Protein backbone atom coordinates (compact mmCIF):
# COMPACT_ATOMS: atom_id res chain seq x y z
CA UNK A 1 0.00 0.00 0.00
CA UNK A 2 1.32 3.45 -0.96
CA UNK A 3 2.14 5.82 1.86
CA UNK A 4 0.34 9.18 1.97
CA UNK A 5 2.51 12.28 2.21
CA UNK A 6 1.33 15.78 3.10
CA UNK A 7 3.35 18.98 3.05
CA UNK A 8 2.30 21.95 5.20
CA UNK A 9 4.01 25.22 4.28
CA UNK A 10 4.25 28.82 5.43
CA UNK A 11 1.89 31.40 3.98
CA UNK A 12 2.76 32.06 0.34
CA UNK A 13 1.30 34.09 -2.49
CA UNK A 14 -0.16 30.97 -4.08
CA UNK A 15 -0.35 27.23 -3.35
CA UNK A 16 3.17 26.55 -4.66
CA UNK A 17 4.99 29.80 -3.88
CA UNK A 18 6.20 29.99 -7.47
CA UNK A 19 5.07 33.53 -7.97
CA UNK A 20 6.58 36.97 -8.11
CA UNK A 21 9.81 38.31 -9.56
CA UNK A 22 12.20 35.98 -7.74
CA UNK A 23 11.41 32.31 -7.30
CA UNK A 24 12.94 30.24 -4.52
CA UNK A 25 14.86 27.42 -6.25
CA UNK A 26 13.94 25.03 -3.43
CA UNK A 27 10.21 25.64 -4.03
CA UNK A 28 10.78 25.06 -7.74
CA UNK A 29 12.58 21.77 -6.95
CA UNK A 30 9.77 20.64 -4.66
CA UNK A 31 7.15 21.53 -7.28
CA UNK A 32 9.09 19.56 -9.88
CA UNK A 33 9.30 16.55 -7.54
CA UNK A 34 5.59 16.71 -6.74
CA UNK A 35 4.64 17.11 -10.40
CA UNK A 36 6.83 14.13 -11.33
CA UNK A 37 5.26 12.03 -8.58
CA UNK A 38 1.78 13.03 -9.75
CA UNK A 39 2.68 12.01 -13.32
CA UNK A 40 3.51 8.57 -11.89
CA UNK A 41 0.22 8.28 -10.02
CA UNK A 42 1.47 9.41 -6.61
CA UNK A 43 -0.46 12.33 -5.20
CA UNK A 44 1.08 14.33 -2.37
CA UNK A 45 -1.09 16.80 -0.47
CA UNK A 46 0.43 20.27 -0.43
CA UNK A 47 -1.05 23.00 1.72
CA UNK A 48 0.02 26.48 2.76
CA UNK A 49 -1.41 28.76 5.42
CA UNK A 50 -2.77 31.24 2.89
CA UNK A 51 -4.65 28.91 0.57
CA UNK A 52 -5.63 26.06 2.92
CA UNK A 53 -5.79 27.27 6.53
CA UNK A 54 -8.63 24.87 7.37
CA UNK A 55 -6.43 21.86 6.53
CA UNK A 56 -3.93 23.08 9.15
CA UNK A 57 -6.68 23.23 11.78
CA UNK A 58 -8.10 19.84 10.80
CA UNK A 59 -4.77 18.02 11.02
CA UNK A 60 -3.86 17.21 14.64
CA UNK A 61 -0.13 16.73 14.05
CA UNK A 62 0.03 20.17 12.44
CA UNK A 63 -1.92 21.96 15.18
CA UNK A 64 0.25 20.25 17.82
CA UNK A 65 3.39 21.31 15.96
CA UNK A 66 2.22 24.93 15.59
CA UNK A 67 1.37 25.12 19.31
CA UNK A 68 5.02 24.38 20.14
CA UNK A 69 6.65 26.04 17.14
CA UNK A 70 5.62 28.96 15.00
CA UNK A 71 4.78 29.01 11.31
CA UNK A 72 8.37 30.11 10.68
CA UNK A 73 9.38 26.49 11.45
CA UNK A 74 7.39 25.18 8.49
CA UNK A 75 7.44 23.26 6.19
CA UNK A 76 6.15 20.24 8.04
CA UNK A 77 6.19 16.92 6.19
CA UNK A 78 3.82 14.16 7.31
CA UNK A 79 3.72 10.58 6.07
CA UNK A 80 0.61 8.66 7.05
CA UNK A 81 -0.11 11.38 9.61
CA UNK A 82 3.27 11.21 11.39
CA UNK A 83 5.80 14.05 11.31
CA UNK A 84 8.88 13.12 9.26
CA UNK A 85 10.52 16.51 8.61
CA UNK A 86 10.16 20.01 10.02
CA UNK A 87 11.85 23.21 8.93
CA UNK A 88 13.06 21.89 5.59
CA UNK A 89 11.94 19.93 2.57
CA UNK A 90 13.15 16.38 2.02
CA UNK A 91 15.90 15.83 -0.53
CA UNK A 92 14.90 13.91 -3.66
CA UNK A 93 16.31 10.71 -2.14
CA UNK A 94 14.39 11.35 1.08
CA UNK A 95 11.15 11.97 -0.86
CA UNK A 96 11.67 8.65 -2.65
CA UNK A 97 12.51 6.79 0.55
CA UNK A 98 9.56 8.20 2.49
CA UNK A 99 6.99 7.01 -0.03
CA UNK A 100 8.77 4.02 -1.56
CA UNK A 101 9.51 5.52 -4.96
CA UNK A 102 12.52 5.09 -7.28
CA UNK A 103 14.77 8.13 -6.74
CA UNK A 104 16.22 7.75 -10.25
CA UNK A 105 12.93 8.99 -11.72
CA UNK A 106 13.10 12.15 -9.62
CA UNK A 107 16.75 12.72 -10.53
CA UNK A 108 15.96 12.23 -14.22
CA UNK A 109 13.15 14.80 -14.05
CA UNK A 110 15.44 17.25 -12.26
CA UNK A 111 18.24 16.72 -14.79
CA UNK A 112 15.83 17.16 -17.68
CA UNK A 113 14.87 20.54 -16.27
CA UNK A 114 11.20 19.67 -16.02
CA UNK A 115 9.28 22.31 -14.14
CA UNK A 116 5.91 22.34 -12.56
CA UNK A 117 2.97 22.46 -14.86
CA UNK A 118 -0.51 23.80 -14.43
CA UNK A 119 -2.76 21.46 -12.54
CA UNK A 120 -6.43 21.90 -11.87
CA UNK A 121 -7.43 25.14 -10.25
CA UNK A 122 -8.66 23.85 -6.92
CA UNK A 123 -7.00 25.60 -4.00
CA UNK A 124 -5.28 22.49 -2.70
CA UNK A 125 -3.81 21.21 -5.97
CA UNK A 126 -3.32 24.23 -8.20
CA UNK A 127 0.19 24.90 -9.34
CA UNK A 128 1.91 27.72 -11.12
CA UNK A 129 3.84 27.41 -14.31
CA UNK A 130 6.97 29.43 -14.31
CA UNK A 131 9.45 29.82 -17.08
CA UNK A 132 13.15 29.72 -16.44
CA UNK A 133 13.49 33.04 -18.23
CA UNK A 134 13.54 36.19 -16.12
CA UNK A 135 10.25 38.01 -15.88
CA UNK A 136 9.71 40.85 -18.32
CA UNK A 137 8.33 42.93 -15.50
CA UNK A 138 8.07 42.49 -11.78
CA UNK A 139 4.33 42.05 -12.15
CA UNK A 140 4.40 38.94 -14.31
CA UNK A 141 6.76 36.08 -13.70
CA UNK A 142 4.50 33.06 -14.00
CA UNK A 143 2.44 31.88 -16.87
CA UNK A 144 0.23 28.98 -17.79
CA UNK A 145 1.14 27.73 -21.20
CA UNK A 146 2.20 30.71 -23.28
CA UNK A 147 -0.14 33.26 -21.70
CA UNK A 148 1.64 35.54 -19.25
CA UNK A 149 -0.07 36.74 -16.13
CA UNK A 150 -1.82 40.04 -16.49
CA UNK A 151 0.44 42.85 -15.22
CA UNK A 152 -2.45 44.55 -13.43
CA UNK A 153 -3.39 41.38 -11.60
CA UNK A 154 -1.52 38.89 -9.51
CA UNK A 155 1.92 37.79 -10.62
CA UNK A 156 0.80 34.20 -10.32
CA UNK A 157 -1.51 32.04 -12.36
CA UNK A 158 -2.66 29.73 -9.62
CA UNK A 159 -6.29 29.73 -10.52
CA UNK A 160 -7.11 32.24 -7.84
CA UNK A 161 -6.24 35.59 -6.38
CA UNK A 162 -2.81 35.15 -4.89
CA UNK A 163 -3.05 37.43 -1.92
pLDDT for residue 12: 85
pLDDT for residue 16: 76
Q: What is the tens place of the pLDDT at every residue in 109-163? A: 777 765 444 343 333 333 344 433 333 333 333 333 333 333 333 334 444 443 3
Highest mean pLDDT among 60-74, 90-104, 144-158: 60-74
Whether pLDDT at 19 is above 80: no
Averaged confidence pLDDT in the chain: 74
CA distances from 96 to 16, 24, 58, 101 (A): 20, 22, 26, 4
Residues 18, 28: Cα–Cα separation, whole Å: 7
Secondary structure in 3-state letters for 101-120: CCHHHHHHHHHCCCCCCCCC
pLDDT for residue 112: 76
Amino acid sequence: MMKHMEIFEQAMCCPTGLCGPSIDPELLRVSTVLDTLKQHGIDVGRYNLTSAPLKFVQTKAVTDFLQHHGPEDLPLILVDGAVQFAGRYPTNDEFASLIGFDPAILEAAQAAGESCCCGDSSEETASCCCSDAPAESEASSCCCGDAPAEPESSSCCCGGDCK
